[in-house]
Structure formats: C-alpha cells, structure tokens
Amino acid sequence: MSPGKSNAYFNGMSSADKEEILSVSGFTEGQLPFKYLGVPIQTTRLTKYDCRCLTDKIINRIQSIGAKKLSYAGRLTLIQSVLATLHNYWAMIFIIPKGVLNRIDSLCRNYLWEGRTEYTKSPLVAWDTVYAKPDKLWVQWIGHVYLKGASWVDYRPTADSSWSWRKICHVKEELQHGFHQGNWIVNPREYKIREGYNLIRTVKPKVEWSHLVWHNWVVPKHRFIAWLVYMNALNTRHKLKRIGVSDSSLCCLCEQEEETVQHLFFDCAYSRRVMGGISEWLGLNMVRSDTLQWVLKCRHSRLRKRMLKAVVSACVYGIWKQRNECRLEYKIHKPECIVADIRREMNARCLHLIKSPVHGPDANWLRRISTVH
C-alpha cells in the first residue's frame, strides 16, 4: 500500500493508539464520510442526499447525445441493460432509500416515453407492464433446459440435475410449504423476510453456555476449542478408540481413567491441579466437576464473571494443548507452568479490555490478581 494514497479511519480509540498506528503505518488520518470505489462510506444509513451521485449518473447517461437519438426499442434496451442496473452495485452493500428507487424508476420511465428526464404526459403503457422482464436469458435457459414447459410450482428436479439446481428447487419447496402453512398465500402481508429466512435455515434452540464461549473477553483462539468441548466433539482417546484409531482409551495426562471430555477437563488429577492454581490466583473455588454450571450460576460482580468466562476457556485451551503435546510429542509440563501462562495471558487481556476505572472491592481484587507471582 502507498502511504501517500492511503488513509486510516478510527472509531473508539485513544489518541495515543491513533498516533502510534499512524506513526508505524505512515498513513494520514481520514475523516468520515468518504468515497471508496465510487461508494460513500459512512456510519449511518444512506439518505436521499447521499444517493444523489447515483441518480446523477443515470441523468448523465440519459442526457448524452447518443441516448437521445434512440428509438423506443433502443431506449428500452438501454434501460434494461444499463440504467436500471446502475444501482445494483450499491444495493449489494447498502439499503437504498425507497425514495431513491422511486426516483430511478421515474427517470427510466420518463426517458422511455420522452427521451429525457422529465415527462408530464400520461404514459402509454403502465411501467409495471413495460418493465416486466420474463425474457431474461437465465430464465429462458432454465425453462429450456429444466422446466421444458412444466409448472414451476409442481416441478421436481431429475436425478441428473446439477447440485446447485437441486438446492434451488429444495429451497423452493421449503418456501412453498411455508406459504401454505404460514397462510402467506391467503394474506401476503403476513409474510416477513425474517420468517422466510428462518424457514429455510437450520434453527436450533439456544444453549445456556453460548455466552461462555462467544464472549468478547474470551481470547479468540480459545473460543473454538471451548465450543468443541461444550459440544462434546473433541477427539478424545475414548472417542478415538471407539472408531478404531487408538489402542488405548486411558487419559494421556493421568493414565488412570478413560479420556472423556468430562474427565480430561474437570475430573483428571492434572486438570484439577491446573484449576486449583487458577482458583488460588483468583480467590475462587473452581475445582469441581460442574465447573461450567457453577460459572453460569455463580453470583459475582460483572467484572469477575467476565474474567471467569475468559479464564475457563483459557484453562480448557491450555489443558487440551498440554494433552496434545503429551500424546504426540511425549512432553508434559508441570501444572504450575500452565497456570503461569494462563495468568499472564489473562492479566494482559483484562488490562486491555477494561476501559473505565474500577472501584471498590473489584479494584482491590483486580490489583491483587495482577500483582500475584
């Protein structure tokens, strides 16, 4: 990137951080709004004024000398292939105001009947009839190759149809079911895009531990392993032996019991020593078989609960990493080393995320855990 041609844009950052980034990158600080690839970039929804350059583009095309000399058929072709599609690029990124879309329709309609942007007479044919486009090449191709005169409502794909076409037909059948079951056909106003989206996607009930994993205090690299633990999806020795990959199902760390998710992270003697070291550091009793349920239901301040969520995921990640080193590289570190790594990482994470001053008991607690060695 060229520093002379690039700008950096900031939001919610301190002046010191801004200056450091600008110093290292060589960029200058830009101000919102600005344009990128011809599209306005800003923090608020687009207004009619923001889309003025879009309508100006259409007006300039209409006012060009060549466009004025076209016949009705030529104007219609220009509208369908150029004018009416100029806003598609914007529409893929933004929600364009309804007034702007109406203005675009108005410009195209006026150009068709008069050859200019303004037209005061009654149109010869309604715009909805003029702009109906059943003759699109893709529609013609689908009709010729797949439908072959069959009704789209009753159509079923053949076994030799492409994967993408079968998926389109599958979505059509799901939506068709929704239109009947949801009474959308009888009363179209009952239909909401959200309902159609929820109908065709897989919706599962929300689990109680979701905010333990997808929490901004949890280190990103810890989240995925923690999610696999809560889903009971990790390839522990118990699972590997069951599918014939491992000869032994004993825990790599203690070699006393079967290596299940529950045992490895919460019941194993090695894991309990890690949890014990973290408990001593935080001043909280985390050494228990129902650690997850305890974190969900414990009554602590907001700061301590946030820290607990991050620490539990960090412990899970650290134990899993140590288990893999033990199994693959035959190396095992003392639990105290794992505790020291977690403590160091969590202190850095905590200091980075706390933006406002902390007072009272939380301040004393935070000072204690950040100074313990």
pLDDT tens profile 291-329: 777 777 778 888 888 888 899 899 999 999 999 999 888
Residue 203, judged by CB atoms within 10 A of its CB (0-12, 13-18, 19+), counts as exposed
Mean of the per-residue pLDDT values of the chain? 83
N- to C-terminal Cα distance for the chain? 44
How far apart CA 359 and CA 366 sit, in angstroms, is: 10
pLDDT of residue 274: 92
Q: Residue 133 pLDDT > 60, yes or no?
A: no
Q: In a 10 Å sphere around its CB, with 0-12 CB exposed, 13-18 middle and 19+ buried, how is residue 155 labelled? A: middle
Tell me which amino acid residue 17 is: D
Q: What is the pLDDT of residues 181-193, one digit of tens each?
A: 766 666 666 677 7
Contact between residue 184 and residue 190 where contact means Cβ atoms under 8 Å apart: yes
Q: Which two tokens stand for residue 183?
A: 């009474």
Q: What's the rounded Cα separation, in Å, for the pair 8 and 10?
A: 7
Query: Stretch 147-172: mean pLDDT, rounded?
Result: 86
Nearest residue to 307 (alpha-carbon basis) of 261, 266, 365, 360: 365
135-to-88, 128, 143, 316 alpha-carbon distances in Å: 19, 15, 10, 58
Average pLDDT over residues 167-179: 83
Q: What is the pLDDT of residues 233-267, one digit of tens each?
A: 888 999 889 888 888 999 989 988 999 999 999 88
- Whether 38 has a pLDDT exceeding 90, the answer reads no
* Model pTM score: 0.55
Residue 337: pLDDT band (50, 70, 90) is very high
Measure the CA–CA gap between 176 and 185, rounded to whole angstroms: 9
Q: How far apart are CA 309 and CA 235, in angstroms?
A: 23
| Helix/strand/coil for 161 | coil
Number of H helices, E strands in the chain: 19, 4
Cα 28 to chain centroid, rounded:
30
Q: How much is the pLDDT for 200?
A: 77
Q: Give CA angle at 67 (64, 71), nearest 5°.
A: 160
Q: Is the pLDDT of residue 368 over 80?
A: yes
The tokens of 263 are what? 């045992």
Structure tokens at 110: 């006026």
If pLDDT is split at 50, 70 and 90, which confidence band does 369 have? confident
Measuring CA to CA, how many Å separate 273 from each of 25, 257, 280, 339? 45, 16, 10, 9
